[in-house]
Structure 1
């Protein structure tokens, strides 16, 4: 019974998050569903796909994408079930690049960072957290739900991303202002930050104790502005510098190594955080992902 509950729970979490489910034991799942008799529609779909010799979820998602296309919608809903109960629901683009940005979808590193945060509450609980390049808001929503920051500042620069972010915050009951209760854990703010021009004064006004970012090391042209911002974050705070954590998939080693070299040239050190955390959110880990903590070199 326990195995069955775990199997169905995995199916539920993965389906709502719209992840590939091909690794699941489909024969076992269909058998359990047929025993129960209540989810007859799902059992019928699986049986029909099996008869057609098709990969179940890939074909199912293609069908759903076709429906979305027929409705001329560029968006979809994804729901991530949280380990402590509850869920985060987001509207995202169905295309990886939309409206001139990659920020309208949730990427693997954002999910990885959200999981890491859940295992390192001391870096977030009761602290002012600033997220750089927050995208549609998944990481911050999970942190606000489970890590109790005193204030959480979502930041991005692209206007379409900021509009979608605000919509997702409201969708999850976390509009700007007092978030209220254990779910919100403080005040939620949205900031438009340009990495190349943001001032020391503005960073001091935000007053972050913890700064996080995920999947921001992907475009060589953006690295100088990112390194400038990270250097400012570490140097202009008082009485002590915030903790800074960067989570990155290593898609292009040349770009990633260039980022590290530019950090060193700016006087910023990095330490790789070893050990993969427990996967608690439903997504497919296709890329090597590295977590690092940044510190300012002392003279």
Structure 2
């Protein structure tokens, strides 16, 4: 970096730091200068800004209000992506007989990991199991440039909310997919806009041919290890996914979860071993974009289907 550019970057970082520590109005931040700088500096500058603001030692010790931090991060995320993620959620943990109408910690954690590791999703078809409110998938669609993204769940109210959240973020939906169907073939390898569908998918009844119709390159799931019955159903789906691309490499798979009951997590790894699915825990990532409870133990497993 040239000396002049280094000086400009330092001034920009100082400007963000001083305004954030003083809790100044967001409109006073030098957003235009940041956008101009991002064209040359890339995401490294965003990480530097996070260190000077949200992750500043003073903010770690004396954090600003959650509302102020959330608004700041929403504005910051909008700069490289051209937009922010907007969600409609239920205010109740359990609503209409499901927990899928709210966003849970592991979904936020997986979204942060995806933003830090976009190459895992770029120009690929992603199938999300148990999408819930859709935060993780919307972040991936906006920040990681997948070729196609399939949100899926089995609860009708969750699917209704999912479709609404996708449209709320100005993302076009392919024709409604209440059952797995093969996407029409057209080359979007270089497209910035992924093909997005919302599919009804029951883990206990979906077949290998139906899963194969999605042609997934990557499979993800977040906060779906909450009871033994669900774990067994999930392992069954993963086993079928491992066999759904006979002549090609099996899809990569990532499962994020918060450790609430160690026995349930142990059951998941034991059952995967029983059906021949190996796994490894990913290192904790440094990306911290969303305000959530960090004292909870959240992990991401990479599965070898």
User: Do both share a fold (TM > 0.5)?
Assistant: yes
Label 1:82 to 1:92 Cα distance change in 2 as closer, same or farther (>3 A).
farther
Question: Conserved in 2, the CA contact under 8 Å of 1:145 and 1:183?
Answer: no
Question: Conserved in 2, the CA contact under 8 Å of 1:249 and 1:287?
Answer: yes
The aligned counterpart of 2:222 is 214
Distance 1:185 1:89 in 2: 17
Label 1:157 to 1:80 Cα distance change in 2 as closer, same or farther (>3 A).
farther
Distance 1:10 1:230 in 2: 48
Question: Conserved in 2, the CA contact under 8 Å of 1:98 and 1:104?
Answer: yes
The aligned counterpart of 2:21 is 7
The CA deviation string for residues 124-174 of structure 1, in whole angstroms up to 9 with x for no partner, is 000000000000110010000010000000000010100011111111111
Label 1:9 to 1:240 Cα distance change in 2 as closer, same or farther (>3 A).
farther
Scaled by the length of structure 1, what TM-score is found?
0.72
More off after superposition, 127-136 vs 237-246: 237-246
Scaled by the length of structure 2, what TM-score is found?
0.71
Number of residue equivalences: 237
The aligned counterpart of 2:136 is 139
- The answer as to 2:154 corresponding to 1:160 is no
Question: Conserved in 2, the CA contact under 8 Å of 1:150 and 1:187?
Answer: yes
Listed as ranges, the matches of 1:1-299 within 5 Å are 1-7=15-21, 25=62, 80-81=74-75, 83-85=77-79, 86-177=83-174, 185-237=193-245, 238-296=247-305
Query: Which blocks of at least 5 consecutive residues in structure 1 are unaligned?
Result: 13-21, 30-55, 59-78
Question: Conserved in 1, the CA contact under 8 Å of 2:208 and 2:243?
Answer: no
Query: Which blocks of at least 5 consecutive residues in structure 2 are unaligned?
Result: 1-14, 27-58, 68-72, 176-187
- Cα deviation for residue 259 of structure 1 reads 0.8
Note the aligned Cα RMSD (angstroms).
2.7
Question: Conserved in 2, the CA contact under 8 Å of 1:133 and 1:156?
Answer: yes
Distance 1:194 1:153 in 2: 14
Distance 1:169 1:136 in 2: 10
Question: Conserved in 2, the CA contact under 8 Å of 1:128 and 1:208?
Answer: yes
The aligned counterpart of 1:66 is none
Distance 2:201 2:241 in 1: 13
Label 1:124 to 1:8 Cα distance change in 2 as closer, same or farther (>3 A).
farther
Secondary structure class of the residue paired with 1:239: coil
